[in-house]
Structure 1
Amino acid sequence: MSLEDLDDSDIKTLRELLELSRRADPDRRRALCIEIDIDPAEFSAIGTISTHDFVVELIDLLQKRKLETAIYKLSQELQLTFQGSKYVSRLDAIVRKINNEHYVKLDNVITSTSSPIESLNFLNTEISIQGNYLHIFFKVRELFLRFLKSGSSIRKAFIISLIVTSGLVGVRFFAVLEWLELKTFDHLMQARLLEEKEDNRLVIVAIADRDILEQDKRREKGYGNSLRDPSLNKLLAILEQHKPRLIGLDLYRAFRADSAIPDLVNRLQQKNIVTVCKVPATDEEGNTIAPGVPPAPEIVSLENVREKVGFSDFVTDTDGHVRRHLMAQDIIPGTECRTKESFSLLLARRYLEQEQDNKKYKAIIREGENPRIGNFTFPVVQSFTSGYQGIDSSGYQVLLNYRATISGKIAKVLTLEDVFNNKFDGEEINDKIVLVGSYAYQEGPRDEWSTPYGTMNGVTVHAHMVSQILSTVLDGRSLLRVWSQGIEIIWIGVWSFFGGFLVCYWRSLKTIGLVITASILVLYIICLMSLTFASLWIPFIPAGIAFTITSSGLIFIRYLSRKHT
C-alpha cells in the first residue's frame, strides 16, 4: 500500500481536522498514538509541545515511514468525530484513496507470481484478510463507537440488557448452566427457614449392619442379603400384632420363600403387604442396558398383584442426585416388573383409600394429564423446567419437596433388633405405614442415594416420597412449583436491566460496587424466601449472571465513552 495518491490538500485536511477534533490535546495524545499503533515514546515532548506542532510532527512521521495503516485508522477516527458535519465528504475521499491502495498492491503482487494457481491462492487469502476482514472490523468498530456516543444511558442499558438476556436464554437452553442451577437449588433447599415435624404416619424399620451380624450369629439361612427369611417372618409376625395399616418391604425378593417356613408365604400374601420390583433400564431406542428385578414369586401369582407391587426405580439427574419423584410410568412390554405405579404412590394411594372418607382420594393417572388424587393435582416436570433444560421427562415425574425436619429424620426409625427386643411403643406401629429397608453400610448391599440433603438410604427416599403425597392431600402441604419459561425470561431480563439502571443512576465506582453486592444479596433473599414460604423455585443463577454482566458492561461502556469524547 502507498500514500502517493494523497496530495498536499489531503495532508492539510488531516492536520486541520485532527487539530480541530481536539484529539491532539496534551491529555489525549498518548491515547491517540496507541489507537493508531504508534509508540508515544516517539515524541520526546509529547505533553509539552503545542497542539499544532504535535499534529505536524505526527503527520510528518506517518508520511516519512509510510505508515498507511496508521493513517487509515486516524482517518477512521476523524470520520467518527465529524460524523454529520461538512467535513465528512473530504474525509471519505481520503479513506477511499487509502483503501483502494489495498487492491493496487494486490494487482502488483499477483502479476509478479510465478503461476496462475499461486495468483489465485494469493488472491483468495489477501482479499479475504485485507479487504473483507479489515472492512468488517472497521464497520463494527464504527457502529460500536456510534452507539457509545448516541442515545441516553437508560437506552444503552435497555439495549445491553436485551442482548445479555437473549444470550443467557440461549446458553441456558443448551443446559450449560444446569449443573450450577441444580447445585444452587440444593443449597436453597438446605437453607430454607423451615422446622417441619416428622411424619407420624410413617415408621421405618432399618436393617443395620448390627442386625445382619445378629442374623449370622443365629446361623439363619436364606437368599436375602440384608433380611433372611427367618428374620423376615419373625418381623412380620411381631408387626402384625400391632396392626399397621400397611407394611412396605423395600427388599428385592426374586426368589421363593424358604419352604421350611410355611407361615412366611401366607404373611407375604396378606393384603396389607406391599413389595417392590425393578424396571429394566433402557436407552433412547428401547434397548435394555441394565436388567430389572422381578417381584416375589409368591406375589406374582395373586389376582391383586398390582395392589401388592410397585416399582422402586428413582430418577436421577446428571450428577446422580434424586430431586424428582417418579410417581408412575407406562408398563414396558416384556418386562416382569409389570406395574404402572411406583412403590411410594402405591403405599400412599392404599393408605388414603383406607381413610374414613376414602371416596375423596381416588387416584387418577391418565396419559397426557397431570396425576390427580382427589382434588389435588401433581404438576409433572417438563423437559424445560426452571433449572432443568432438555431432560428426559418421560413418565409422571414431579419435583420432590423433601421434608425439612428439625431432627433430620423423615419419620421414627427402629432397627430390626429394636423390634425383636420389643424396644418400641405399639402405638408407633398401629395404623401406620411401616417401611422396611436396608441401612447397612458394611455387611450388606449399600442402598444409598445422593439428595439435596446429602446421602440417604433408599427406604428413606421412599419415605419422603410417600410423605409428600400424604402431606399434600391430607395436610395441604405445598408441592414445589416453578414459573413458566416466559415468566422466567422476563425475570432474567428485569434483573439484567436493573443492573444497567443502577450503573446509570450512580456514578461512583465504589457506590456502584456496594449497590451491586447489596442487589445480589436481595436477589438471593428473594429466591430463598420464595422457596421457603411459597415452595416456588425462582432462577437465581441466570438472574444474577444477567445482572452482573449488564452492570459490568455499562461500566465498561461508560469508560469507553469518556475515552472517545
Structure 2
Amino acid sequence: MKLPAPLVNFGAFCKRNHQQLVAGLITFSVSLGVLVLRDNGTFKQIELLSYDNLMRSQLNEPSDQRIVIVEISEADIQRFRWPFSDRLFAKLINQIASAKPAVIGIDKYLDLPVLDGRSELVEATKNAGNVVNATFLATVKGRSNVEPAKDLEQISRYGYVNLSTDKGAVVRRSAIVGDSGSFAFEITQLYLQKLHNKQQLVFNPDAIQFTAGKQIIPRMTANYGAYRKEDDSGYQVMIRYRGKPRSFQHISASDVIDGKFAPEQFRDRAVLIGITAESLKDSFATPVTADEEVMYGVEIHANIVSQLISATLDDRKFIQVWSNDLENLWIAIWAIIGGGLATFIPNAFRNVGLLATLAIGLTVGSYIAFAQALWLPIFPSLLGLISANVLVMSYQLAIQQSERKVLMGLFSRHVSKELVDIIWSNREKFMEEGRITGQEVYVTVLFTDMRNFSTAAEAQAPGETLNWLNNYLGTIANEVLAHGGMVDKYIGDAVMAVFGVPIPHANEVERTRDAQSAVDAALAIARKLAEMNDVWVAQGLPPVTTGIGINSGTVIAGSLGSAERLEYSVLGDAVNIAARLESFNKEVDGGPHHILISEDTHQRLNNNFKTEFVGKYALKGKKQETGIYRVLDIQKKANPVVSSASSETT
C-alpha cells in the first residue's frame, strides 16, 4: 500500500532530523517536568532562599527619616521592670506627643490595666489624639483574639500586629488588611491623613484593590511567585525591607521618659514604640537577617509602614511578580534555550562556555529586575536551562560515542591515529543512519602480493608461518600508514591500500600528493622487505618477492556489509586496474622493486621519481590498453620529462 505523499515527506523529515527531534522531546520533557515540580511546590524553599539573597543584595537605600522607633531594651526593663505600668506608658505618650509627631504606634497590648496609672494612660492617649494601639487576631485554634481595650477604643485607633511567617519563622509577607486594618496600615493612614490628607491608601471595592499613590498594591494569591497553595487570606503583600536591623533611628524608652531627646526627632514623624529586649522574644528571622541575626517585631512593622508611605509619596515600587502563565512561559523559554544550545552547538567546550555565560546573564538579569521590584523565577529558570542543556548534551555525546564507535570500527585498523581524529572532526560528512554513504572520490590505489608464499610456508611450522606472515603484512601496513594511506583490506598475503580517502581530496595538488605518497610508500615497502629478506635467508628461509601495482582514478568509497559488520572500502575500475598491474609483474619486468604504475599515476609524479616506460597493454579483463611504467627509485635531480612513448628512463 502506497502511503500518501504528506506522510512520506513527514517520515523523510523525521528521518533527516532524528537527533534534533529527540533533543526537542528531551527539552519539552525537561520544561514540563520543571513546571510540574514547581506547581507542586517542590522548589518553594529554595526559591524563597534565592528571594532572600535578592532582597539582601538591594539594601542600598537610605534610612527613612519619617519613622522613629522608641525601643524598650533590656536596659529599660531592668530599670523599670516588666511589664511597664500604665503610668509609664502614659509618660512615654505624653513626652512623645509634646514633640508633635504625626502618629504614635504602640506595639504592646494595652487591653488590660497594668499596675497603676490607667486613668493617666487614657488621658494621655486622648490628649495625643493620634495613637494606634495593637490588637491580635487569632488564626490558630486554641488562641484567643486580643481585642482593643474598651477604655481606649473610642479615643485611639487600633490594628492587629499579626505577622505571617514562612517555614523557619521567616517574615517575608504581611496582610496589611484583614477583617480590619493592620497595625502598620492604620499607622500609615493616620500619618498620611495628618500630613498628606489627599494622598491616602484607597480601597476600590469593585476591583477589590488598594492603591497607594499611583500604584495598585499587588495582592498575594495562593500561587504567587514561589508560593504554592498558600493561605492568601487578607490583603497580603511582600515586604520590601529597606535595610538590615536597626536601619531606622532608635531612641531608648529611658531617654524619652527622662526627656533626653530633641523635639525635632519626633516632629511630624511616625513614632513606633516597641520591644527590642531579647528576653521578651518578640523577634523574627527575615530575608535581610543572616545566621543567628533577628529583627524585632517593631522594626518589621516600621518596614511595612515605610513601604506603604514611600509607595504613596515617593512611588517606591512594591515587590511584584508576573502572572503564572507568563512565569511558566519564561521558565520554558530558558529550558528551550538550554536544549537548543546543546542541539546546535555540539562542541562541548563552546557549549559549556555559552551555558555558563547564559546562566550568569540570567542570574544578573534577575538581580537587576529585582532592583526594579520584579521578582523573577530564577531557580526554576536556571534548572530548566542547565537540565535541558546537560540532558541534550548527554544524548548528543551518546550519539557521538555510537558514531565514533562505528567510525573507529571502520577506520581504526586502516588509517593512522591522526587521520582518525580528522575523520571524527568531519564525521557529519560521512555518517548517515549508522553507515558511511557512498561518494565518488579520486584516489590512488596500491596492491601488493607475495609471489612465493607457498614455498616460504612449507619451510616453517604452521605457528611460525602465522607469525612470519603477520610480520610481513605488518611491515607493509606500517609503511602505508606512515605515508598517509589507508589499509583497505588484507586478502591472504595480499594487501590493498588507498591514498585519498576517507577525507576526499578535491583539488589537484592533493591528488598529486596522494599519487606520490603511494609511490613513496611502495619504494619504502620494497626496501623494508629487502632488509627482511636478508634476515629470513640467514634463518634458512627462502627469500620472497612482492609485486606492487599502483593506479590513480575515480572510485566509489563507502561502507559495505550489514549493520552488524560494516567495512569501509572503495570500488571501481581504478581498483581493478591497480590489482591487474600488481599481477602483471609476473608477465613483465617490474624493475628492481617490482613496482608497476599506470599512466594516470605516472602523470602525477612530476619527475620526482625515476621511472621507465614498459609499454601499453590490455590488462586482463580490459579491452582498452593501459600505459604501464616501472618505478626504479626516487629522482635525485629533476630531469626533463621524456615522451611517454619512449622506453628510456625518465
* Superposition TM-score, scaled by structure 1 size: 0.65
Query: Where in structure 2 are the equivalents of 1:112-511 lying within 5 Å?
Result: 151=17, 153-192=19-58, 194-216=59-81, 225-256=82-113, 258-260=115-117, 262-270=119-127, 271-282=129-140, 288-300=141-153, 302=154, 308-330=157-179, 340-356=180-196, 358-361=197-200, 363-364=202-203, 366=205, 369-373=208-212, 375-404=214-243, 409-442=246-279, 445-454=280-289, 455-511=294-350
Code of the residue aligned with 1:388 in structure 2: it is: Y
The answer to whether the 8 A contact 2:320-2:375 is kept is yes
Q: Distance in 2 between matches of 1:519 and 1:226?
A: 57
User: 1:371 aligns to what SS in structure 2?
Assistant: strand
Separation (CA, whole Å) in 1 of partners of 2:31 and 2:296: 41
Q: Give the distance between the partners of 2:147 and 2:391, measured in 1 at CA.
A: 59
Alpha-carbon distance in 1 for matches of 2:204, 2:176: 10
Q: Equivalent residue of 2:170, what SS? A: coil
Match of 1:549 among 379, 384, 387: 387
AA aligned to 1:186 is: D
The one-letter code of the counterpart of 1:550 is A
* Structure 2 unaligned blocks of 5 or more: 4-11, 404-433, 435-650
Contact 1:353 1:362 in 2 (8 A): no
Query: Contact conserved, 2:67 with 2:302, CA < 8 A, in 1?
Result: yes
**What letter matches 1:278 in structure 2?**
F
How far, CA to CA, are the matches of 1:147 and 1:296 in structure 2? Answer: 78
- Provide the rounded CA distance (Å) in 2 between the counterparts of 1:548 and 1:147: 28
CA deviation digits over 1:505-524, x for unaligned, max 9?
33332332232222211111
Kindly indicate which of the two structures has a greater share of residues assigned to strand.
Answer: 2
**C-alpha distance in 1, partners of 2:24/2:329?**
13
Q: Aligned partners of 2:119, 2:111: CA distance in 1, in Å?
A: 18
Contact 1:386-1:539 within 8 A present in 2 as well: yes
The residue identity in structure 2 corresponding to 1:209 is: E
Are the equivalent residues in 2 in contact too, given 1:328–1:397 (CA < 8 A)? yes
Please state whether the residue corresponding to 1:434 is helix, strand or coil: strand
Q: Give the deviation of 1:362 after TM superposition.
A: 5.3
Q: Distance in 2 between matches of 1:462 and 1:546?
A: 37
Cα distance between partner residues in 2 of 1:204 and 1:147: 71
Say whether 1:535 aligns with 2:393: no
- 1:287-320 deviations in whole A, cap 9, x for unaligned? x3422222233223x2x6xx61101111112332
Does structure 1 conserve the Cα–Cα contact (< 8 Å) formed by 2:224 and 2:324?
yes
Distance 1:184 1:373, change over 3 A: closer
| Aligned-partner residue type, residue 238 of structure 2 | L
Q: Is contact 2:334-2:385 (8 Å) kept? A: yes
Q: Is the 8 A contact 2:85 2:114 kept in 1?
A: no
TM-score (norm 2): 0.57
Change over 3 Å in CA distance of 1:214–1:259 after alignment to 2: closer
Q: CA deviation at 1:375?
A: 4.3
Once residues 381 and 260 of structure 1 are traced to their aligned partners in structure 2, the CA distance between those partners, rounded to angstroms, is 43
Distance in 2 (alpha carbons) for counterparts of 1:157 and 1:228: 72
Tell me the CA shift for residue 539 of structure 1: 0.5
1:374–1:558 Cα change, 3 Å: closer
SS in 2 for 1:537: coil
Percent identity at matched positions?
26
State the 4+ residue runs in structure 1 displaced beyond 6 angstroms.
146-149
Greater displacement, 161-170 / 498-507: 498-507
1:256–1:297 Cα contact (<8 Å) kept: no
- Say which is worse superposed, 386-395 or 201-210, in terms of deviation: 386-395
Query: Cα gap change, 1:538/1:524 in structure 2, threshold over 3 Å: closer, same or farther?
Result: same
Distance in 2 (CA, whole Å) between partners of 1:365 and 1:292 is 28
**Per-residue CA shift, 1:124-156, capped at 9, x if unaligned?**
xxxxxxxxxxxxxxxxxxxxxx99975265544
Distance 1:260 1:169 in 2: 60
Q: CA RMSD in A?
A: 2.4
Structure 1 segment 49-60 matched on structure 2, within 5 A: none
For the residues of structure 1 that align with 2:342 and 2:365, how far apart are their CA atoms? Answer: 22
The Cα of 1:373 is off from its aligned counterpart by: 4.0
Structure 2 residue aligned with 1:526: 365
Distance 1:147 1:548 in 2: 28
Q: Is the 8 A contact 1:360 1:375 kept in 2?
A: no
Q: 1:179 to 1:310 in 2, by over 3 A?
A: same
Q: Distance in 2 between matches of 1:559 and 1:477?
A: 50
SS at structure 2 position matched to 1:361: coil
Aligned residues of 2:199 and 2:313 also touching (Cα < 8 A): no
Q: Secondary structure at the match of 2:174?
A: strand
How far 1:329 moved relative to its partner? Answer: 0.9
Q: C-alpha deviations, 1:197-221, integer Å up to 9, x for none?
A: 11111110000000001114xxxxx
Cα distance in 2 for partners of 1:259, 1:189 equals 45
SS at match of 1:231: helix
Shift of 1:327: 0.8
In the alignment, the residues of structure 2 paired with residue 543 and residue 373 of structure 1 have an alpha-carbon distance, to the nearest angstrom, of 32
Change (3 A) 1:150 1:293: farther
